[in-house]
Chains A and B, each alone.
Chain A
Amino acid sequence: MNIKIKRDEFVEYNVAELKGATLLEILNYIKTKIDPSLTYSSGCRSSVCGSCAMRVNEKEVLACSYKVQDGDVIEPLKNVEVIRDLVVNMDKAYEFNAKSKAWINKSASTPDVSQENEKLNEVQSDCILCASCYSACPVYAVNSEFKGPFSLTRVYKYVSDVRDSDAKEKIDVIQTSGIWDCTLCNECTMVCPQEISSKADIEKLRMKSTQYGYMDPNFGSFGGGLDFL
């Protein structure tokens, strides 16, 4: 069994004895037995810390939960700076959480949360910030400031929470390079290891935004007379 890993260039490794192993187990094998300079991140090895997201045959996976096939091509995440081999710099991606104000505005007293309320954002709070969605998102090709799928899911998590006292602050900031920039292509949903659909969350945030008086700016351009000329 051979796999190719993108380093400075593609390097092929023979890992015949590791049939059925996860990609992380194979990377560990290569690092400790063949080439200690191979560089990647890992942590919990149980799909919950979000450290080992990478691409296999151009699709985002967690290395610790992907079973390797002969001929697989391994590359780092996209839309982020590669530091070395499969390690990328997440700083800018994570800053979109701050730019989206993805946190609770605490209430003076905490209201009870019904089981129905809890279910509203249970799956969104399963996010492990692995950034698979961020890597798969095509919007970054045209707008590097797009707040992006995981941050917008986080915003949805908080605006749908009855304990949040100021949803409007968050709704306001996601109007620019936010929910309306999404093409609803659903790539984020396809790659999420936690079965979260940021696309669906973005659609819900659009509905919520109209309740706050915002309109889809893409509609506006049709009506504007001068734009037409």
Chain B
Amino acid sequence: MQNKVLVIGSGGAGLVAALNAHEAGADVTVLTKDYPTRAQTSMAQGGINAVLKHSQNDSVEAHIANTLKSAHGIASEEEVKKLCTEAVDAVEWLDNIGVQFSRTKDGKIAHRRLGGASGDRACYAQDYTGLKILHTLYDQVVSKNIEIKNDRFLLDIITKQNKVEGVSVLNKRSGEVEIYSTNAVILATGGYARIYDKYSTNAVGTSGDGIAAAIRAGARLSDMEFVQFHPTALKNSSILISESARGAGGHLLNSKNERFVDELLPRDEVARAIHEEMQKGEDIFLDIRHLGEEFIDEELPQERKLAKLYENVDPATDLIPIKPVAHYTMGGIEVDKNSQTKVSGLFACGECANHRVHGANRLGGNSLLELVVFGREAGISAAGYAKKVGVEASIDKTEANNFLNQIKQYTNEADFYQIRDELGDIFYNNVGISRDKDSLQESLKTIKDYISKLHLMGVKDKSKIYNTNLIEFLEFKNMLELSRLVLKGAIAREESRGAHYRSDFPNEDEAYAKHTIVDINGVVAS
């Protein structure tokens, strides 16, 4: 009997899923396109929301209410309850496995305030929360001797009659396509905010590879039009400055040194307020000078380092120039109550999935929480499924590497790196903080044009060994596919809700208080 679970992706969600599937008795292998500790999770700074036993003036009910409010009517109350109720357990578990949370004077896990929260609720490890969680999870995976295969790029999920049979991956080192037979696959491959290219806080590999593979395999996606812009990225480099800087009392100022918004509103509202100021020609700055050097070095050491290094300013003495850029994608793979997609045996968790907990706008501190709560659910569900199915998956191996062979025939008349740049510009300008029908439709036309010209692009580097030119082209192809779906969703939603703001329909419309669901052919329900 086969009892295998394959986890694709090795960020926080993937590693939590792997640990839980392993504990549930499955034979787990993790495939990652780089190395586990290089994942996007390492970049999460602010914290992980949890109302703990020692929390004061806060409650799980308040966490639920804040999350639902920020989601603007399109989160699932049941899933949000699950998320917030299991938060205590999630953070206690992280504490138990050795995460170095910052502490209060009496040795309890410290809390800090993030936007949209009615209490100090985010547990944190200075401003390295994601880094320390990710590395601790990795050490646990190593301790369980769970197999990790590095440098494997996901090509396709192989299915038969809507059931998972395995996956095909490109071994970056050998240049060979490898096929892994398995009945159960967990996707934990991250979001798609790199569509915005240089206008994104995200790591360069955040190209939605798993989401694109899922829809090709027959899964559905939802709410793809909801892309969160983080209010405070460094102006020149788009590198993130954590919301905890505002949580601690940091101010947003325009060129006239005036504050213009309550800095602790949810991210969609703050980003929009900044956007409006910028439209008036204002430069925007984050000011944390009044917090004092000692506080900054203790609580926000990474922010100081990043501002110095990438913006040439010292937050202890200078204003920090900022702009809002794409940060987190609320949309993703549709999953049921067991984190399973429409394809039997295909599970998803983390940013690539849409567990309907963030709705139209995610709260800071809820994504690290999500990856623990739903990583666990996906791991346990997949292990249960693998045990139950029991029949060996068998794959016709000849079908698997079709599209790689096709790409080799592409003519290379157009430079995809240049078009990747253009895609970022188009999305930032037309599918960004403020959108309207004309610019969305024009963008869709351009994207369709790019897609139809893919065969004129392709790779110049013909090497088999570690061909990052090819990998970047495959990522670009995935991003183009997802761009089209983001646009379809954004065009269909003729209202404004959370992160999706339509200047031609500036109000929330009850008729759209529902999810936009797409499959490979386009919108199936909205």
Contact = CB atoms under 8 A, between A and B. Distances in A.
Nearest to A104: B98
A14 to B, nearest CB: 19
Interface string B59-71: 0000000000000
A185 interface: no
Interface in B89-119: 92, 95-98, 100-108
A174 B181 CA distance: 38
B443 to A, nearest CB: 22
A2 interface: no
B135 A112 contact: no
B132 A125 contact: yes
B128 A44 contact: no
B514 interface: no
B96 A163 contact: yes
Contacts of B95: 110, 113, 163
B107 A113 contact: yes
Q: Give chain B's interface residue range (CB within 8 Å of chain A).
A: 35 or more
Nearest to A105: B143
Contacts of A45: 203-204, 237, 239
Interface stretch (A34-42, A138-146, A209-217): A34-42
Nearest to B97: A104
B309 A128 contact: no
Given A127-B135, A163-B96, A103 B143 contact: yes
B434 interface: no
Interface residues of A, number: 54
Interface of A: 31-33, 36-37, 39-51, 65, 83-84, 87, 89-91, 94, 97-98, 101-104, 106-107, 110, 112-115, 117-118, 121-122, 125-129, 154, 157-158, 161, 163-164
A114 B102 CA distance: 9
Contacts, number: 145
B510 interface: no
A212 B102 CA distance: 30
Interface of A is mostly: loop
Interface of B: 34-35, 37-40, 42-43, 92, 95-98, 100-108, 125-126, 128, 131-132, 135-136, 139-140, 142-143, 145, 150, 173, 203-205, 237, 239-240, 302, 305-306, 309-310, 417-418, 459-461, 463, 465-469
B461 A37 contact: yes
Given A43-B203, A118-B101, 8 more contacts: A46-B239, A46-B240, A50-B38, A84-B465, A103-B140, A104-B97, A115-B104, A129-B135
Given A47-B306, A103-B142, A125-B125, A39 B466 contact: yes
B135 A103 contact: no
Given A47-B305, A48-B302, A114-B103, A103 B139 contact: yes
